[in-house]
Amino acid sequence: MQTRSERGERFSPMRLLEMLEFRFGAFETIAYAALELARKQPDDTLPMDTKTADAILEFGDDLRQAYRAAAEWTDDQAVARTRLTVSNAGNAA
What one-character-per-residue DSSP string does 30-87 give?
A: HHHHHHHHHTTS-GGGSSS-HHHHHHHHHHHHHHHHHHHHHHHHHHHHHHHHHHHHHH
Query: 17 and 67 in contact (C-beta within 8 Å)?
Result: yes
Average pLDDT over residues 47-52: 88
Query: 35 and 55 in contact (C-beta within 8 Å)?
Result: no
- Please calculate the CA angle 49-55-61 and round it to the nearest 5 degrees: 140
Query: 31 and 52 in contact (C-beta within 8 Å)?
Result: yes
Residue with more model confidence, 40 or 55: 55
Residue 66's pLDDT band (cuts 50, 70, 90):
confident
Residue 79 has pLDDT above 90, yes or no: no
Q: What is the pLDDT of residue 90?
A: 57
